[in-house]
Structure 1
Amino acid sequence: MKFHATTASIPPQNAFYRMGFPKETNLPVNIIPLNPIVFLLRAAQIYPNKLAISHPDAAKGLVEYSFAVWAQRVQNLAYALKMSGIQPGDRVAVISPNCPLIADSHQAILAARAVITPINYRLKKAEVQYILEHSGSKLILVDHEFLTLVEGTTNIPIIVSKDTGRDNVGDPYEDFLDKGRAFSQERGWLGLELEPDENANASLCYTSGTTGRPKGVMSTCRGSYLAAVANAFETKLDKDSVYLWTLPMFHACGWTYPWATTFGFAAQVFIRSIRYPDIWHHFLNSGVTHYCAAPTVQIGIVNATEARRLDNPITAIIAGAAPTAHLIGELEKKSINVTHVYGLTETYGPFTRSYPHPYWSTVSLEERAKLFARQGHSFATADEVRVVYQIPPDHTGPVELVDVPADGKTLGEIVTRGNIVMKEYYRDPEATAKAFRGGYFASGDLAVRHLDRSVAILDRSKDLLISGGENASTLAIEQELATHPDVLEVAVVARPHPKWGERAMAFVVLHLDSAKKYEEDVIKFAESLAKHAKERLPGFARPEWVEIVQELPKTSTGKIQKNVLRERVREKDKEKARL
């Protein structure tokens, strides 16, 4: 079926792409509040007929919008929200895979001066209910596939999208947009007021909550604007770019790429879930130039049946864990170039990057991987990333942050402040005060600073193991074990040891051929890995236990869930104690 945008999606001739401004606001002429919604308006003004969105995964077939048409749909949604009683500062929840619904929402909710609250659709129903209640969301936009997460559990109004983009197919979301267009009375963008306070709330994203209730990270219009500009600049997104959505857009607002892409005039291609044949289809046929994904997803990409060397290079933005030498090598063989970034939900996603240097091309792949694995230096719009001596959790009174020496050895905690740090933990002043002690945001990541001033994480504070009085980084151990030719993925956690206090336990996923090779002789692999570790790691850091697993537990964004592995270890020790 050939796609035609709905009647309500067609903009009028001579449309204005400028928002109104509250008359009571007396800002000087030289100040306009920063807000990422203006990127879409600028794109619609400069490149109205350029492809903005391509959604081949739609329920009724391919859906594509130009910037002008998409801007009209976003405008319709903004008016529909206002028609529904959404006021400035209200939270609007969105539960959706990567598709136009959640892309529209990142623009329109801000255009209505409300706060987008994207929710992880892989959470359990009770967890979703907690977030809805904690956020105080006034409306829910939900994809039909995930309606069961909210159906019958809430009194909040729900708008369901059937992901069609078409007229006359019984799609409540399309009806909602039609009503928004009618409600606008063709006032257009000028009838929508730009938020006058750039520090007003823009997004409320919830952390994974692996150690308790998820925390709501409140971000601002200004921070979202500056983080998006930084991401576009650091990865060279422009009008010739095609961004493939593999990173879930609900995760930290897609690291602000919903706005970085519009800033760069880039086209966006959606897939509703991670399917490697689909990813490779778009790599080969859709002109993809950029995508974001954790190393675990990258491993799936390079090992897919469809994987091959690309005629045109692609930029892979990697975060969540440092890429190994083997992974970097395999990506480069496919003509996929690595950009390694680091950040947290509290920093709008990435805020540092491992910046390459000319001499990197003269060193071995393994050495280059170690340089790539560093978290590097701060983005252009971020303040300096610091590594300071860690403040004890039970410390009270004034806090003075002291930087560790740039010797590549002294362990400290990464802290930062500035433009792309969250505003607060929503409705949690105690957690906010703790995170902001000393006037900086404390990440909880333990790192060193090298002589070139670049930063390298050694571990999360809770993942560091202490063996015989020596600190051992589980991340550093993983980096070395991952160089074993049979290892596809590896995760290391601390396990209690009667003599040394703690020792490393490695959970290993083998390459397919290697798994067959060691199927009848697991001990042989453990011996091979032990020999490999002995050549690369000090005694206190070598794994005492090795377990081959089919897969590692992961979050929705591909991060390995070490809390799950630690729980497995505890259960093993309990069982052992009972015997």
Structure 2
Amino acid sequence: MSSGWQDRGKWGGFKPTPESIPPSGVVFRFRSDARKIPVNVTPLNPINFLLRAAFIVPNKLAIAHPDVPHPSFYTFAVWAQRVQNLAYALIERGIQPGDRVAVIAPNSPMIADAHHAIIAARAVITPINIRLTKDSVDYILEHSGSKVILVDHAFVHLVENAKVPVIVCNDTGRPDDPYEQLLASGRRFSRERGWLGLDMEMNEDAAASLCYTSGTTGRPKGVISTLRGSYLAAIANAYETRMDRNSIYLWILPMFHACGWTYPWAITFAFSTQITIRSADPDLIWHHIINSGVTHYCAAPLSSIISSHRARRLDDSRSITAVVAGAAPTSSLIGQLEKLKIRVTHVYGLTLAKLSSFEVCSETYGPFTRNYHRPAREVDETKGLADEDSRIMARQGHAFVTSDEARVVYQAKEGDPEDAELKDVPDDGVTRGEVVVRGNIKNRFTSIIAIPRPRRKHFAEVILGVAIWLFRNPDGSIMILDRIKDLIISGGENASSLSIEQELSRHPDVLEVTVEDSTFRPKDRHAAFEKELKKYAAQVLPGFARPEWVEVVDELPKTSTGKVLKHVLRGRAAKL
């Protein structure tokens, strides 16, 4: 199970830079004026998770970055020193509380550093999708008002002609790396004042991060997350996925995506070790699953993990928790993962959602609901979950511990008074409605928002994901019926593209499937398989929901976080 790097003596001779070594007697505590804080109140801040880990388990491996020409490995104490150095370096370069600092990088130690050091400097991290066009990156940099840019060497082209200072990281961990030189300058600037030389942010509702959409339907839109919200969301993620000091987390989900669903902080809260890989290569993922003792990962429903030639069932002493979101996983995918002893924790959340017909953005720090395995179920360990149980696990489930009940309500009607009560749908698994939640997950907005008057009162209390239809099952769990724009009208009935996809994916020869509405018909394409799949659909779907044509493709177009680009497919279907 070992790939040879977990033990300190097997780190390939790697040594952190001298500036990364903490002094003796280090104090892992911010400067604060205790007289200004009630004795029963501590402002919540996720940077404190790292300080606590460095204090309690200083010599435990925090970050492993093994799959690069110059691998690097950092214990919690060393990593905390590096984070401190970066915080001082940013302050030295004029960063003030509330300033934005942009980060453009794949999963690597630098972006992990940034998620802690920027808020330690009381600034706001703005992680930017590395797959965006330069035009979109330019827009985000200007719109966010970022004062400094940290960029990985592979993405320097995205910041050409930038108007603010740019620091390049060559991802080597060596003293001649420009990023390492930045950290060294921060250490010198600190004059060994340590953490006690950095002021604690007294306002837990201060901004922690500013994340943007991918801009696929217009200019990117941003949402600000708070320190309090990030802190509580991180605890919820660690708790709901049972992460602890024995856990090893593999970074597949990009850290730039909604701050990695707050897992950069959930990992440190749990004292877990994290492995950073620069790309989500299925074979590399399986290398670490097999050899590195991985216990957790987050990702969209990656069928490539199942189809990799390295995929195999884990031995009886192991299992992995896969936190799956980004797109609704099919029951077939869940069942196949469980056969490999990859236990699926299906979560649901809003990163940035357009609310119905008006330009509004909403975020829930990534996941805020999850489906729970039923303890009474019977599982055949040689086959994985029973088929019906896989279907149940494909639901979006119940709200996280840090929020109130996730409700499904009728859409407010035009002309309703401002104080009209939201009406819950019955628990019949049929009646559709919209999801509303409240609790310790609500973000602030940085976009201009227009809220129709009938919803203004309730919007102050809840986050609405009204671009999606859901229903509630008899056990109280919620389930997505479809995105409103993806519902298909067929034979006078509302056909859910997601439900159709769930059924068709159960066919043994279907790896992935997506369903689109179109009046066009392709001719003579994959005729044999089309006939077979139509016959299969007739057995599992009502007449109005059966596909009229089938197109087989090598790969479905997807976003950087694994969601199928249905608008691209709609355009393709319109040309058939």
Common fold: TM-score over 0.5: yes
> How far apart are the structure 1 equivalents of 2:257 and 2:274?
17
Residue 392 of structure 1 deviates from its aligned partner by: 5.7
- 2:254 is aligned to 248
- 2:42 is aligned to 32
1:307 aligns with 2:283: no
- 2:30 is aligned to 19
- 2:180 is aligned to 174
1:50 pairs with one of 21, 41, 60: 60
2:439 pairs with one of 407, 411, 418: 418
Q: 1:398 to 1:138 in 2, by over 3 A?
A: farther
- 2:167 is aligned to 159
1:466 aligns with 2:489: yes
1:406 aligns with 2:410: no
1:567 aligns with 2:576: no
Summarize deviations over 1:127-171 as a string: whole Å, max 9, x none: 11111111111111000000001112x21111100001112x3x1
1:442 pairs with one of 442, 452, 464: 464
Give the counterpart letter for 1:414 in structure 2: V
Residue 324 of structure 1 deviates from its aligned partner by: 2.5
1:228 aligns with 2:228: no
Summarize deviations over 1:84-108 as a string: whole Å, max 9, x none: 1111111111000000010000000
> How far apart are the structure 1 equivalents of 2:258 and 2:532?
40
- 1:294 is aligned to 300
SS in 1 for 2:211: strand
- 1:500 is aligned to none
Residues 11 and 69 in structure 1, CA contact (< 8 A), matched pair in contact too: yes
Q: 1:13 to 1:150 in 2, by over 3 A?
A: same
SS in 1 for 2:132: coil
Give the counterpart letter for 2:180 in structure 1: E
SS in 2 for 1:495: coil
Give the counterpart letter for 1:357 in structure 2: R
Residue 360 of structure 1 deviates from its aligned partner by: 2.8
Residue 17 of structure 1 deviates from its aligned partner by: 0.4
2:365 pairs with one of 348, 354, 363: 348
- 2:387 is aligned to 366
> How far apart are the structure 2 equivalents of 1:47 and 1:244?
20
> How far apart are the structure 2 equivalents of 1:309 and 1:53?
27
Q: 1:362 to 1:160 in 2, by over 3 A?
A: closer
Summarize deviations over 1:311-335 as a string: whole Å, max 9, x none: 3211111112333233223222222
Gapped regions of structure 2 (runs ≥ 5): 1-11, 352-362
Residue 391 of structure 1 deviates from its aligned partner by: 3.0
CA RMSD of aligned residues (A): 2.1
Moved more, 429-438 or 179-188: 429-438
Residues 132 and 214 in structure 2, CA contact (< 8 A), matched pair in contact too: no
Residues 525 and 551 in structure 2, CA contact (< 8 A), matched pair in contact too: no
Work out the percentage of aligned pairs sharing the same amino acid. Answer: 60
Number of residues paired by the alignment? 544
SS in 1 for 2:514: strand
> How far apart are the structure 1 equivalents of 2:348 and 2:536?
29
1:453 pairs with one of 476, 490, 503: 476
Residue 467 of structure 1 deviates from its aligned partner by: 1.9
- 1:514 is aligned to none
Alignment of 1:28-107 (within 5 A): 28-60=38-70, 62-107=71-116
Residue 522 of structure 1 deviates from its aligned partner by: 1.1
Residue 26 of structure 1 deviates from its aligned partner by: 2.2
Residues 334 and 394 in structure 2, CA contact (< 8 A), matched pair in contact too: no
Gapped regions of structure 1 (runs ≥ 5): 498-504, 507-519, 573-579
> How far apart are the structure 2 equivalents of 1:438 and 1:115?
24
Moved more, 79-88 or 562-571: 562-571
Residues 204 and 217 in structure 1, CA contact (< 8 A), matched pair in contact too: yes
Alignment of 1:538-577 (within 5 A): 538-572=542-576
Residues 39 and 262 in structure 1, CA contact (< 8 A), matched pair in contact too: yes
1:326 aligns with 2:332: yes
> How far apart are the structure 1 equivalents of 2:117 and 2:258?
17
Alignment of 1:371-386 (within 5 A): 371-386=392-407
2:20 pairs with one of 9, 12, 16: 9
Moved more, 386-395 or 336-345: 386-395
Residue 521 of structure 1 deviates from its aligned partner by: 7.3
SS in 2 for 1:317: strand
1:284 pairs with one of 286, 290, 307: 290
Residues 387 and 413 in structure 1, CA contact (< 8 A), matched pair in contact too: yes
**Structure (1/2) with the larger strand percentage:** 1
Give the counterpart letter for 2:484 in structure 1: S
Residues 20 and 194 in structure 1, CA contact (< 8 A), matched pair in contact too: yes
- 1:123 is aligned to 132
Summarize deviations over 1:283-330 as a string: whole Å, max 9, x none: 1111111001111x2x11121111112232111111123332332232
- 1:185 is aligned to 191
Residues 62 and 75 in structure 2, CA contact (< 8 A), matched pair in contact too: yes
Residue 211 of structure 1 deviates from its aligned partner by: 2.3
Residues 332 and 502 in structure 2, CA contact (< 8 A), matched pair in contact too: no
Moved more, 328-337 or 369-378: 328-337
Residue 355 of structure 1 deviates from its aligned partner by: 0.8
- 1:150 is aligned to 159
Q: 1:47 to 1:293 in 2, by over 3 A?
A: same
SS in 1 for 2:204: coil
> How far apart are the structure 1 equivalents of 2:120 and 2:525?
61
> How far apart are the structure 2 equivalents of 1:52 and 1:422?
29
Give the counterpart letter for 2:483 in structure 1: R
Residues 22 and 196 in structure 1, CA contact (< 8 A), matched pair in contact too: no
Summarize deviations over 1:8-39 as a string: whole Å, max 9, x none: 0000001000111257x722111011010000
Q: 1:74 to 1:160 in 2, by over 3 A?
A: same
Residue 549 of structure 1 deviates from its aligned partner by: 0.9
Residues 97 and 249 in structure 1, CA contact (< 8 A), matched pair in contact too: yes
Give the counterpart letter for 2:543 in structure 1: G
Shift >6 Å, 4+ stretches: 393-396, 431-436
Residue 438 of structure 1 deviates from its aligned partner by: 6.0
> How far apart are the structure 2 equivalents of 1:80 and 1:352?
38
SS in 2 for 1:181: helix
- 1:198 is aligned to 204
SS in 2 for 1:459: strand
Residue 49 of structure 1 deviates from its aligned partner by: 0.2
After TM superposition, the score normalised by the length of structure 1 is: 0.90
Q: 1:132 to 1:22 in 2, by over 3 A?
A: farther
SS in 1 for 2:97: coil
Residues 327 and 562 in structure 2, CA contact (< 8 A), matched pair in contact too: no
Give the counterpart letter for 1:15 in structure 2: V
> How far apart are the structure 2 equivalents of 1:399 and 1:11?
59
Residue 361 of structure 1 deviates from its aligned partner by: 2.2
